[in-house]
Amino acid sequence: PGDAGAQGDADAGQVVADDAGTMSSDAGEDAGTTTPDAGDDAGTATLDAGTMPFDAGSTTMPYDAGIGDGGIELGDGGVCSATSPRGSANFIGTTVGRPNTFALARTSVLDGCNGREAHPGPDAVYRFTVPPGQVLAASVQSLTGDGSMTNPLYDPVVYVVEPPAWNCFVQNQTSTWAQCAVWSEAPAMNAAALAGADRVEWTNLGARPVEVFLVIDSLRTTAPTGLDLDSNGAPDFWVTGAGAFSVTATLTPKPAAPANDTCAGAVPLIAGSTTGTTVSANSDLTFDVSADGCLTVSEDQELGDVFYSATINPGQRFIVQASSPVADQNVGINLFNDICNEVLACKYATSRPGDPAVAFWDNTGTSPLTVMIQVFTMNGQTPGALFTLDSQFVPIPAGPANDTCSGAVVLTPGAPPTAGTTVGAAEDLTYASNNTCFDVTHQQDVFYSVVLPPQQRLVVTASTAEPNAFLDVNTFLGACMNVASCTVGASSGTTPARAIRDNKTANAQTVMVQVASNTSGAVGATFTVGAAVSAIPAPPANDTCAAATVLMSGTTAQGTFVGSASHSPLTANATQCAGRRTLADVFYALTVPAGATATVTVTPPAGLDTAINITQSSTSCSGVGTCVGRDDRGYSGEADIATYRNTGNSARTVLVQVLAYNGAEDTFSISAVITP
């Protein structure tokens, strides 16, 4: 390693992580010593058969470069720099009384620790040395609680932090994110999945031993949280963010890559079912940011992919469905008909727990068409997982009458809901850049229109009874080309999509309504859609950023979205933020002392899906380009928890934005806890 303060200058003395998960240095390293170059101001770093001192300025981190007997090296669960005996593979630990080292483990899309959620719970960290060509597999099982109110279940989450070693302790020093190699997926919202083991695997694809850190953390706080698993409006399962656990770890040789690891080795598909694997597959296909409709998979993610092909006759639709038998394992697919290293456009889909990924391609031409199918597993595990593909070739169905914007069906406010379908529909709506709409460019959509009187509120509600279908709703004014501004709604489970639009003008408006079935319902879905019109309710007092309500630590406040509109301070390209700029939102101001950590919890009722953003200044009500804290669990009725650590030398008042995905007609509770 060299001096952490001059990482970019030290070429001979710095240990770096490449995209294969290896550590390497240049020709300046021999079998005995490593000498930093003139750009490294720390002095020297020596490498022997045992340890290498690591100078990180004010933090000294022992670094063991050897692998001893080739077994697993474990820390004591205290901090990243813990020393340990070698060779242990089964042990018990606890996060009770541990620090929250990774409170700010907020990561980019490419490196996300457990889906880029906040990690407010205490954590235990263990050090592993993985020999070349070996797979480290770790399974973490909670040993605390049964899910009852009096004995809440400890709900851990597990991730692996790659070298260089400063990724591990950076969380206690700065607000920078750590680089996670693999992470366990959030479990399905049922008691069995929550109580099950969290598993991660990491493969050393390089030629040298690699030291990594296993972090056992939690998306929960130490205070018990009640979950409404049966969606009856009342908590029925309790979890907590601290407890005892067991770890089982193994090292095994890396299996050979599958035969269809590369695009050139694509396996032809015919109608029926086939099984495949991404185990030991490499990440081969990458997309430019301009690639249209492709689910981005980059080498930085280390998600192994495999390839298939399908030949579609004229007038036929090819439908492919992907699922995995592995618990908490998601599968992603991209369909394209471009050259593999020049992919410009895709049809994509991702699976959810219990919900397969489904995508299709229509051949509207006069000659056979061959498309490529890229399959990858999506929990960040380099060794991959098993999956199943089910393929169909069927005639292209006729589209519904309102498949295009010009054929929009008129909705009458107050009338019974209208039955609709996206089966056979095409993807018609186009968007302007930096639009505020749900991006459903590659989803099947149909259209409706409704007249909204002046000074009235329109509520559009769309719901489906199909268990694997999800609906997105956009409402907008004007033509269907280059739409720039929408109000939006999304369904979640049995909760309908609900979009709200206010007409504050003196004239009636004709509002266009787009209903789209999203990626898991890519072959279409049936639904009902209805409209209601009423007076615009008075907004809540904290509807705007400038009128943010003061949030006090240690107290719980009741909030409401009733009458609220979107007043987002975020720019169109804001990073590290949750939700969308067009969602209804309300605001709070929270003062965080120097060196303290604030944990904000928003608990919605059943059926409401919320999100939280924390921005660095409560007085910045526009032009905010990044968030310092966020959370968006993706489940209606589940609490969102966002964490912010003030690393400055003085108290800071931050802005807390609470957003509602499926309508501004509900209440919620919000609380804040500040810890040193």
Could you report the per-residue pLDDT of 56-82, keeping only the tens digit for each? 222 222 333 333 333 444 443 334 444
> Alpha-carbon distance 220 to 241, whole Å?
4
> Alpha-carbon distance 72 to 281, whole Å?
24
pLDDT band at 559 (very low <50, low <70, confident <90, very high): very high
CATH 2.60.120.380 fits 74-253, yes or no: yes
CB atoms within 10 A of CB 656: 26
pLDDT at 249 over 80: yes
Average pLDDT over residues 173-188: 57
Residue 664's pLDDT is 59
- Amino acid, single-letter form, for residue 307: F
Residue 77's pLDDT is 39
Residue 174's pLDDT is 34
Please tell me what DSSP assigns to residue 143: -
Residue 113's pLDDT is 53
Report helix, strand or coil for 274: strand
Residue 314's pLDDT is 96
Q: Are 3 and 39 in contact (CB under 8 A)?
A: no
Residue 547's pLDDT is 94
Strand runs labelled E in 313-455:
316-323, 331-336, 347-350, 357-362, 369-377, 386-395, 409-410, 418-421, 444-452
Which H helix or E strand runs over 218?
strand 210-218
| Phi-psi category of residue 82: left, alpha or beta, with phi > 0 → left and psi -120 to 50 → alpha | beta
**Which of the residue ranges 33-37, 193-197, 552-556 would you say has the lowest mean pLDDT?**
33-37
More confident residue, 275 or 326: 275
Q: Are 495 and 609 in contact (CB under 8 A)?
A: yes
| Phi-psi category of residue 127: left, alpha or beta, with phi > 0 → left and psi -120 to 50 → alpha | beta
Report helix, strand or coil for 506: coil
CATH 1.10.3720.10 fits 263-395, yes or no: no
> Alpha-carbon distance 669 to 676, whole Å?
24
Which H helix or E strand runs over 168?
helix 166-169
Average pLDDT over residues 496-505: 88
Tokens 């080309």 — which residue? 481
pLDDT at 22 over 50: no
pLDDT at 284 over 50: yes
Instruction: Kindly report the average pLDDT of the chain as a whole number.
Output: 76
More confident residue, 296 or 486: 486
Report helix, strand or coil for 160: strand
**Which of the residue ranges 146-150, 330-334, 431-435 would you say has the lowest mean pLDDT?**
431-435
Residue 514's pLDDT is 94
- Amino acid, single-letter form, for residue 504: K
Inter-CA distances, 6 with 40, 41, 71, 161, 473, Å: 6, 7, 33, 21, 50
Q: DSSP letters of 517-581?
A: E-GGGTT--EEEEEEEEEEPPPPPTTSSGGGPEE--BT-EEEEE-TT------EEEEEES--S-T
> Alpha-carbon distance 350 to 322, whole Å?
8
Residue 275's pLDDT is 94
pLDDT at 88 over 80: no
pLDDT band at 662 (very low <50, low <70, confident <90, very high): low
Percent helix / strand / coil, the chain, rounded to 5: 5, 40, 55
Average pLDDT over residues 603-619: 86
Q: Are 409 and 418 in contact (CB under 8 A)?
A: yes
Residue 57's pLDDT is 27
> Alpha-carbon distance 323 to 331, whole Å?
6
Residue 629's pLDDT is 85
pLDDT tens, 393-427?
999 988 899 999 899 999 999 999 999 999 888 87
CA 160 to chain CA centroid, nearest Å: 16
Give pTM, 2 decimals: 0.60
Inter-CA distances, 139 with 110, 216, 486, Å: 23, 11, 44
pLDDT tens, 512-542?
999 998 654 457 889 999 999 999 989 999 9
pLDDT at 154 over 90: yes
Residue 619's pLDDT is 87
More confident residue, 391 or 89: 391
pLDDT at 318 over 90: yes
> Alpha-carbon distance 92 to 141, whole Å?
9
Q: Are 503 and 509 in contact (CB under 8 A)?
A: yes
- Amino acid, single-letter form, for residue 79: V
Average pLDDT over residues 324-328: 71
Tokens 């919320």 — which residue? 610
Residue 116's pLDDT is 44
Residue 464 token pair: 């489906």
pLDDT tens, 429-466?
777 766 778 777 667 899 999 999 999 999 999 998 88
Q: Where in the chain is the domain with CATH 2.60.120.380?
A: 74-253, 263-395, 405-535, 545-675
pLDDT at 390 over 90: yes
> For the structural domain made of 405-535, what CATH number should be given?
2.60.120.380
Average pLDDT over residues 182-211: 80
Query: Pairing state of beta strands 570-575 and 624-626?
Result: parallel
> Alpha-carbon distance 230 to 34, whole Å?
59
pLDDT band at 290 (very low <50, low <70, confident <90, very high): low
> For the structural domain made of 545-675, what CATH number should be given?
2.60.120.380
pLDDT tens, 120-143?
678 887 878 888 888 888 899 999
Reference 225, options 562, 635, 628; nearest CA is: 635
Residue 302's pLDDT is 56
> Alpha-carbon distance 378 to 545, whole Å?
37
Inter-CA distances, 334 with 293, 305, 392, 477, 575, Å: 9, 10, 16, 32, 25
Residue 656's pLDDT is 96
**Which of the residue ranges 352-356, 445-449, 610-614 would you say has the lowest mean pLDDT?**
352-356
Residue 35's pLDDT is 34
